[in-house]
Amino acid sequence: MTSHRRAFILLLILSGTIISICMGLRQSLGLFMRPVTLDLGVSAASFGFAIALQNIVWGLSQPFVGALADKHGPRPVLMGTALLYALGLLLMVYSRGSVGLEVAGFLLGIGTAGTGFGVLIGVVTRATPLEKRSQTVGLVAAAGSLGTMALAPLGQALINGYGWQPALAVFASIAASMMLLALPIKGLASTLGALPTAAAVAAQQPLGEALRDAAGHRGYLFMALAFFACGFQLVFITTHLPAYLQLCGIAPGVGASALALIGLFNTVGTYIFGLLGARYSQKHLLAMIYLLRTLFIAIFLLVPITAASTLVFAAAMGFLWLGVAPLVTGIIGRVFGLTHFNTLYGVVFLSHQVGSFFGAWMGGLVFDMTGSYNFGWGALIVIGLAAFTLQWLMDDRAPPVRRAAGGPAPVPA
């Protein structure tokens, strides 16, 4: 095995592990809603707002965090944001009310922006040849799904055995480990040629021009709007599904098992969609993910809510969970190039996180007002159908100036 190949494999392993920890911790926070609200005397809406704040801060900071990684490299961004992630979880341990939870949510949002998909997928994308990019991003995103499968049951076991505060302290130590994992990233990226030289960057498109091209590109805007629905659906489910199941008389452990199943099947689904994205229309595959998610939500609500139906629903949703990652990143890299990839991905991801904000907050607000999640589930269905329509109609051709300059031809729709 050549040194280049060894460096590439190690980069994929480290990137997948960091993303796995980041997303596994984030997607397990819904397990803490009931114990935190009962112990601290805060409402479900207050806890939901803290999670919503995490998501909107994640989205708002993602373009800036991405721009820092584009300019200075990924390692300092990864280490700094991993530290903020751990501090946010520790702050939740010592919170005595909604204000502490909200400050923690703010720190967690910035931490997730650096240690989640945006920065590391950019590193992997730059290090991978175009013809293998979709499969490779799918592989890393799939590995990143394993965290939920491990951390959700761990979190539930710690809550049951020791209480929610020790459980969060353990989660904080796990988050801090991402700093150590980030240490070799710079050397690996340099070895693989993943970091452009200053001269190369200067000769390429300026950031302002790239942002103007994206803002004037109808397909980019359609994809961003559809991504709103993605965040709305997924964060509503991770935040409120455990509490919804308990209202339906389902044992608390089923919620943790459902989140773990989402992580397991997400591993398979994300990799498969990465493979499919290399052969078929990425925009149409994205549209089908939005449609199938919405259909599974509708079916889940129509059948009796049992432990078995919940686990089947979790497996189906998990298969479709992060399959969007290789498809969205593939479209951005192909249409706009890689010079400002992290920044342009961050702008699209902002829409996703606005949806996440409203999905988390709306769920808690509706429950506090009505004592039911019915309206929230209905909103997931309506928004999912709108996302399918927008994504199917997306124009995924490169901007005219880039096509004239010899940019890559679009994948046939």
**CATH code at position 147:** 1.20.1250.20
- pLDDT value, residue 189: 65
**What are the structure tokens assigned to 149, written together?**
């499968």
- pLDDT value, residue 83: 96
91 within domain boundaries: yes
> What is the total count of domains within the chain?
1
Average the pLDDT over each of 76-80, 295-299, 334-338 and give the range with the smallest value: 334-338
Taking each helix axis from N to C end, the angle separating 282-302 and 218-247, rounded to the nearest 10 degrees, works out to: 20
- pLDDT value, residue 21: 93
The span from the first CA to the last CA of the chain, in angstroms, equals 38
pLDDT in tens, 126-185: 888 877 888 888 888 777 777 777 888 899 899 999 998 999 999 999 999 999 999 988
327 within domain boundaries: yes
Rounded to whole angstroms, the Cα distance separating 159 from 109 reads 23
Residue 386 pLDDT > 90: yes
65 within domain boundaries: yes
- pLDDT value, residue 188: 73
409 within domain boundaries: no
pLDDT in tens, 235-292: 898 888 888 888 888 887 888 788 778 878 888 888 899 889 888 999 999 999 999 9
- pLDDT value, residue 93: 87
Quick one: pLDDT band at residue 401, thresholds 50, 70, 90? low
Residue 272, judged by CB atoms within 10 A of its CB (0-12, 13-18, 19+), counts as middle
- pLDDT value, residue 406: 47
- pLDDT value, residue 1: 61
Instruction: Report the length, in residues, of the chain.
Output: 413
Quick one: pLDDT band at residue 200, thresholds 50, 70, 90? very low
179 within domain boundaries: yes
Q: How far is C-alpha 168 from the geometric centre of its chain's CA atoms?
A: 21
- pLDDT value, residue 403: 53
- pLDDT value, residue 365: 84
Alpha helical stretches, state H, 278-406:
282-302, 307-319, 324-336, 341-370, 374-392, 400-404
Alpha helical stretches, state H, 183-251:
185-191, 198-203, 207-215, 218-247
202 within domain boundaries: no
Residue 60 pLDDT > 50: yes
HEC string of 104-145 equals HHHHHHHHHHHHCHHHHHHHHHHHCCHHHHHHHHHHHHHHCC
Scored b (16 or more CB within 10 A) or e, 102-115 reads bbbbbbbbbbbbbb
Quick one: pLDDT band at residue 396, thresholds 50, 70, 90? confident
- 0.85 exceeded by pTM: no
Q: Of the ranges 182-186, 188-192, 388-392, which is most confident?
A: 388-392
As a whole number, mean pLDDT of residues 202-223 equals 78
Residue for token pair 């089947």 = 312
As a whole number, mean pLDDT of residues 302-317 equals 94
- pLDDT value, residue 391: 94
As a whole number, mean pLDDT of residues 200-221 equals 74
User: Do residues 324 and 274 touch, judged by C-beta distance below 8 A?
Assistant: no
Residue 22, judged by CB atoms within 10 A of its CB (0-12, 13-18, 19+), counts as buried
410 within domain boundaries: no
User: Do residues 140 and 120 touch, judged by C-beta distance below 8 A?
Assistant: yes
Range of the domain at 51: 3-189+207-398
Percentage of residues of the chain with pLDDT beyond 90: 32
199 within domain boundaries: no
As a whole number, mean pLDDT of residues 60-70 equals 86
Helix (H) or strand (E) holding 45: helix 44-72
Residue 340 pLDDT > 90: no
